Amino acid sequence: MPLQLSHASLFSISPNPYMVLNRDLVYVDANDAYLRVTGRRREEVIGRHIFDAFPGDPDDPQDSAAVLRQSLRHALDRGETHHLPLIRYSIARQVDGREVVEERFWSATHVPVRNAEGAVVAVLQHTVDVTELQTLKQAMRASRTMELEKGILERAREVAASNAMLDAQHRHLRRLFEQAPGFIAVLRGPLHVFDLVNESYRQLIGHRDVVGKTVRQALPEVEGQGFFELLDRVYASGEPYVGRSIRVLLQRTPDAPPEERWIDLVYQPVLEDDGSVSGILAQGHDMTEQHQAQEEMRRYRTQLEQLLSERTQDLLQSRAEHEQTRAQLEHVQKLEALGRLTGGIAHDFNNLLQVLNNSLLLLKRVTQGNEPAQRWIATAGNAVSSGAKLTGQLLAFARKQPLEPRALNIGRLLQGMDDLLRRSLGGAVEVETVIAGGLWNTHADPTQLENVILNLAINARDAMDGEGRLTIEARNAMLDDLYADTHHEVAPGQYVLLAVSDTGCGMPPDVIERAFEPFFSTKPANQGTGLGLSMVYGFVKQSGGHVKIYSEPGHGTTVKIYLPRSHQAEEQPELRVTGPVEGGTETVLVVEDDPAVLATTVETLDDLGYRVLKASDGQSALAIVNSGVPIDLLFTDVVMPGPVRSVDLARQAQQALPQLKVLFTSGYTENAIVHGGRLDPGVNLISKPYRREDLARKIRQVLQQGAGAAAAQPAQLDVLFVEDDAELRHLGLELLRLLGHRVTAVGSAEEALAQMAAPPGHPGHAGQPGGSGGGSGEPGERGGSGEPGPASPPGGSDAPPREPRRFDVLLTDVALPGLSGVELAREARARQPGIRVILASGYGRSALPEAEQAGDRTLLLPKPYSADGLKEALARVARAVR
């Protein structure tokens, strides 16, 4: 039988001296050979500290006890074997009943002892008594010549220097390994046992103790993510693996769900001299913050594009879809180009029509009784009306007309149009109206929708040569994802369907394709402008809907209009003022940059009995407002030259005169008081060209309103925006500006506190929304035109101090250089107790405790946030501020 011995038996009977110390350097065990060479009994050492059992020589100039202690600690703390080739250590022995200190020389090797989990729990010392050898060496050295002695000493110095250099290199390499910016791990064997990991790797995995464990034992949550299989493949093939932006889920905190991290990674096989693979070097970088920043930047850009663009394109899935989308885009660009052209000329063209219209009205009054003159004036007036209608159609198809939508029921609207349709179409056209039960409401401009229905009905009459059947149907409809996938501009959801069908000649596919193009018509010359269907298309798109033509030659045509469902209750239309024209005695300030329009408007209002003041631009108008003259109504063009826009003029004038009413006029509103194609709530507008009667009634209506006219812009907030990333700061500033707020943007908490300490009018003060923001190196980016602050009072340093600027909202990133966002929030509240705080954090809801540290009235906005999310957050704090 083979001899079987346990480790303990081998330890005990070994002729070599061995002993074991625990981490406190207390004897755990010692074999007989050790007790013999040290002259001790087992009970004299077991349980005692080594330096209590062998205190050493206090007069030893080499301090051998300290050298021994350092070697033991090296093995225990670093987990590495350490060897002492020679150490002088005196041993106290009992000789003839007395204690004798005997000088001995030893060679010792200290080996760390690990437990099952791989942790160092003890140190094993193998001791060799080399006293006789050392004595012999000393004798030999004594007998050698001085030259040999000198050579040995020189060699010893070289060896010592070489050892010192190697030790320094080892420490240097260890420092480089630990301080490397990327993570590094050294894996051994086919099971991938961790041999070494640096601090960056420990940070990545949550500071777990993994040395001595296999990757599957140390990182069980990585199972199924493909990394273990990659390691096996690299070890088996000897080929390295390089990966970039790899997603990995790691449980960095015990009992917490795995966290998502993004890493760049290299698995490099470690090759032996014979070419075999003995392990793998894993090296890489944690790219999570960069990935999150890129994602955040992408979302910012996407949101800005959605705010600045009227429509976006879906990604193309196939070549056919690409061609289809390109064709649609070219069609849209054609419409947009014509729309921009129309918008550019509409203002000036309508001003010309307004001058003609006002002049004709005044001529009509002074030529009463002159029948030929009255007839000519009426003919010229009809031409002005036709020009105004043409301009209105152009603006309609270009989606630039200001809509006044409300919740309405298309069924009731059709019932109200029944007599109008029958009179317009003639008795030879049979009109059938089909309204489904339970019809949903929609949100649209009723006047424009009536025009759309009438346009389609007249087109149908012409297609039927004045005789046939016209069917108008209204019912509920659902457009699903499948339909939306084939019609890129359609959002799936609930709609109200309005279908207009005729029994006319129908249209071939090439005509259907161009039917919505402006000025395209199949009618003979001088029989239509070709703008009817273009106006329908523009109105439907501006109302968020969808329009589709179904037709075949000889089988009639159906035009289907889908308008989004509204969950609001139907709104009753306002009663139109149709009574006699009335003037008044109030004071009206007219602001108009066109001298001819200004002159005729002033004369018209003067003729109506009003006291009229006039100004050619916003600055002149503000001077009149600030002069103290009482003014009842501000009547201003929307498009104004100079630094003061019409909406700013209205806002500042109402601040100075709270009871002032405001009426806007324009032939082309741009985006000043119309957003998303719809007139801003509370804004009064009369479109050019207008008749004298319409102007008179509109002015009386505005003056008789119970509350002052609403400011053109929605409620604004003074926002202090803090973001250390320059590009994110600029994009965030643009978002806030587009949402209509006054913004001061800075890059640090310290700059923010400086802004709060600065008085109004300071360079960092934001005036009006709409500015582009300051450039690099400025103390803050300004979200407005930057009204100049009040002039410094006379008297120099004797002038009274100015109050610091106050903000409504502090919108700050949590992670900032210097003071953090939470610390900034607390300091801001100390300075301005009423300020509301929005904390933006890239750590999502996990930053909630930090938000709670910032105090109450704090709202957490997870990054990356959308424009809608930012708008909702500001709306929530606005309710508290206002």
**Nearest residue to 338 (alpha-carbon basis) of 512, 537, 487:** 537
The pLDDT of residue 314 is 61
The percentage of residues in the chain with a pLDDT greater than 70, rounded to a whole number, is 76
What are the distances in angstroms from CA 713 to CA 36, 406, 652, 741? 98, 20, 12, 9
Quick one: average pLDDT of 270-290?
A: 90
Helices (H), 627-691: 646-656
**Nearest residue to 498 (alpha-carbon basis) of 435, 580, 551, 432:** 435
- The residue with greater pLDDT, 305 or 548, is 548
The pLDDT of residue 791 is 35
Task: Give the pairing of strands 661-666 and 611-615.
Answer: unpaired
Distance CA 446, CA 641 (A): 34
DSSP secondary structure, 59-71, as one string:
T-TT-HHHHHHHH
Distance CA 420, CA 472 (A): 14
The pLDDT of residue 790 is 35
Query: Which segment, 67-71, 319-323, 369-373, 511-515, is predicted with the most confidence on average?
Result: 67-71
Distance CA 593, CA 646 (A): 11
The pLDDT of residue 336 is 62
Instruction: Specify whether the CB–CB gap between 194 and 208 falls below 8 A.
Output: no
- The residue with greater pLDDT, 778 or 698, is 698
Which of 197-211, 452-466, 561-575, 668-682 has the least mean pLDDT? 668-682
Confidence of residue 41 (pLDDT cuts 50, 70, 90): confident
- Residue 535 tokens read as 């106006």
- The residue with greater pLDDT, 584 or 524, is 584
Instruction: Specify whether the CB–CB gap between 531 and 391 falls below 8 A.
Output: no
Distance CA 753, CA 400 (A): 43
Distance CA 20, CA 36 (A): 16
Distance CA 615, CA 622 (A): 9
What are the distances in angstroms from CA 499 to CA 349, 492, 579? 35, 19, 36
CB 818: neighbour CB atoms within 10 A? 11
Q: Which residues neighbour 424 within 8 Å (Cβ) at sequence distance 6 or greater?
A: 454, 457, 458, 461
Distance CA 452, CA 470 (A): 15
Which of 167-171, 275-279, 325-329, 852-856 has the least mean pLDDT? 852-856
- The residue with greater pLDDT, 756 or 681, is 756
Q: Which residues neighbour 402 within 8 Å (Cβ) at sequence distance 6 or greater?
A: 669, 673, 674, 677, 678, 679, 685, 687
Nearest 5°: the CA angle 788, 791, 793 is: 160
Which of 48-52, 160-164, 671-675, 740-744 has the least mean pLDDT? 671-675
Place of tokens 């919740």: 407
Quick one: average pLDDT of 798-823?
A: 79
| Statement: residue 671 has pLDDT above 60 | no
The pLDDT of residue 796 is 38
Instruction: Name the pTM for this structure.
Output: 0.36
Nearest 5°: the CA angle 323, 325, 328 is: 110
| Statement: residue 499 has pLDDT above 60 | yes
Question: Within 13 Å of residue 280, how many CA atoms lie on the same side as its CB?
Answer: 30
| 235-269 pLDDT tens trace | 999 999 999 989 999 988 888 888 899 999 999 99
Distance CA 673, CA 681 (A): 9
Quick one: average pLDDT of 214-242?
A: 91
Can you give the length of the chain in residues?
882
Quick one: average pLDDT of 221-241?
A: 92
The pLDDT of residue 669 is 46
SS3 795: coil
CB 124: neighbour CB atoms within 10 A? 18
Distance CA 667, CA 350 (A): 5
Whether a cis peptide bond, with omega within 30° of 0, leads into 689 is: yes
DSSP secondary structure, 370-427, as one string:
-HHHHHHHHHHHHHHHHHHHHHHHHHHHTT-S-B--EEE-HHHHHHHTHHHHHHHH-T
Distance CA 396, CA 394 (A): 5
| 156-182 pLDDT tens trace | 777 777 777 877 777 777 777 777 778
In DSSP terms, 279 is beta-bridged to: 188, 270
SS3 124: strand
Quick one: average pLDDT of 828-835?
A: 86
Confidence of residue 757 (pLDDT cuts 50, 70, 90): confident
Question: Within 13 Å of residue 120, how many CA atoms lie on the same side as its CB?
Answer: 21
Distance CA 695, CA 703 (A): 12
- The residue with greater pLDDT, 642 or 679, is 642
Place of tokens 């207009």: 500
Q: What is the mean pLDDT of the chain?
A: 78
- The residue with greater pLDDT, 554 or 799, is 554
| Statement: residue 591 has pLDDT above 90 | yes
The pLDDT of residue 54 is 83
Distance CA 548, CA 570 (A): 26
**Nearest residue to 85 (alpha-carbon basis) of 61, 108, 62:** 108
| 510-559 pLDDT tens trace | 888 888 776 677 776 555 556 678 778 878 888 889 998 998 888 889 99
